[in-house]
Structure 1
Amino acid sequence: MPVIASNRINNPVDAEQILLNGDADLISMARPFLADPAILTKAYENRVEDINTCIACNQACLDHVFELKPASCLVNPEAGRELELELIPATVKKRVLVIGAGPGGIEAARVLALRGHQVVLADQNDAIGGQLNFSRIVPGKSEFNETIRYYKTQLSKLNVQVRLKHRITADDPLVAQADEIIIATGIEPRKPDILGVNNEYVVSYKDIFEDRVPVKENIVIIGGGGVACDLAILLKQKGAKEITMLQRSKAFARGIGKTTRWATLMELNMKNIRMIGGISEYKAIDQGEITFLREGALRSIPADLIVYASGQLPNNSLYNKLTESKKPVHIIGGAKDASELDAKKAIYEGTIVAREI
């Protein structure tokens, strides 16, 4: 009986090993071809490092299908758009400065370089990827490392000048040297307007993901969206004993697609993470507890650490300054609109703007 192995085989090296072991006669892949239609060609040519690996996020493929939208791919926005997203060499080669090396910025830099532009990519952090670096450390999401690996390889091969630990200001020489500029500076966590939010034991989700704050045993998370859910799962792995998520909405994990939301909620329940929704008002944070109003009753929950993950604001101050110059300045991703923060949108906007320049 011929046996076909399928599901989450996204690496040709793994596929070949399964065949060599005699565990299966054929390998079936679907989503990996959306992420990189040349996956087998690259494997045959021993260019595995050039493969844009499927990370099983489902955000633009299965989630789209279940919403009756055309299937595409988060890491490869050309999927399903092959006729409209042609890669045409630039008629006028320009010096383009991309500020911000998050998902939108690195995709813009890659496509610009492919089209023949001279590209400088600058970021104040010490690594490319932006908030992809948050996702990759969440238990179960380590495959986001593959996306960062892919872009790092492509930017190097395309001779993109990557300037890390470089905070761009309006008077930076790189600004003066550029013909056009792309702002991809992302977001900043929104600090909720709660009395006592400036206490030293109240921090943002970035502080946790960037390992700037020691994890405590009893933690309250303000927020219940995708970032807050990832945060709760990460904190549990880091040793937090009791985690409570608070939010105004009664529906947790909103914004996560249909194909993975149920699994996220199940994991939160399995890890005994408390989810309290329907809060009408946050009253105060004081003396190691947070007080709030829910269903007409005043409640308090003690906490050693309170983390807010309840929304973002666009980090667009540099864009506002640079628009005063005569240079063409473009803005993409969270810096443009932080209300719907996701890598799918940022990468798509990055690939679009890079084709327009």
Structure 2
Amino acid sequence: MPLPPLVDPVPALTDAERARTARHVALAGLGEIGQRRLAAAHVAVIGAGGLGSPAILALAAAGVGTLTVIDDDIVEHTNLQRQVLHRLADIGAAKVDSAVRVAADLAPETVVHPVRERLTGENAGDLLRGAHLVIDGSDTFETRAAVAAACEGLGIPLVWGVVQEFHAQVTVFWSAPPAGIAPVRLSDLHRAEEVGELPTCAAVGVLGALCLQVGGLLATEAVKLLTGIGEPLLGRVAVIDALAGTQREVPLRPAVLRPAASAPAPAPTPAREEIPHITAAEMLAAQEAGATLLDVREPFETDAGIVGGSVVIPLADFLADPGQIDDGPVVVICAHGIRALRAAEVLQGRGVTASVLAGGLAAWTPA
């Protein structure tokens, strides 16, 4: 169901802006009042790269009144395959300068505040304060964690997306949603200690057209939240496989129920039995005896090969719907054992017998 709009509308649009956004005004449910809400809105975009570029274009075209674009990088030749804000003439210039130029050319009433500064845990709160919502198109988990923490502290929605190779995910995090809506945070999808070292675009590549698709979805989520239309992806993750041509969704629920401050402290939870860590030989013997091997690595990892007979479900997809594996025993596999332990804990909590390949596949060299 729609959530209340984040923004009060401006009193009126200028004649030029009303003419430019006429196709929005004609949309049932959005209309002129929705367009006036967009004109009053302030969106912060982290990164003017593969995801930020199309999101900035779409938000400016949509008539969002104020954009703060945060990026400390310069344009490089290899960016142009997917970062559609920039042109050959921009190589060597600050990426945020492209955002200023493009918005002025496309939607002159949109004000862009360029911030050529690297966002960190120390400055994130100050940089994002005043925005109605944030779109995160950054490319490191360290930055994403800092953005998420700042949004949680400010109580504002975080529209979040990630792209790698031919795969993508889009969702909305919000630590302080309207009453009756469960808060969902980045840590409910990815715990920092489980992420590990992620490959860069330079190492594994990324499909440029998919960046445009995901950037458009990020902008759409922002428009829905700002104007109070549609059903935002809060509590749901859109999962895109560009090669298969599919887009599906998985539910995302809080990993830990957080009681209200006024609620009495819950009774201590009994300690769970320690998750067994087994050797590769024990894993193969367990498989021979009927155990399921669950590989929770990402597609860019499993593309290089899996243990024969494994069931492959990336960790985020599994955590969103643990019922995909409802019978044991299960041996969980990942690269180094950290993500596997998280999945095994969830399985154990559901009464499914689970163990973990000790050290992950990185520690196993099959004969």
Q: Same fold (TM over 0.5)?
A: no
Higher relative contact order (CA 8 A, sep 6+): 1
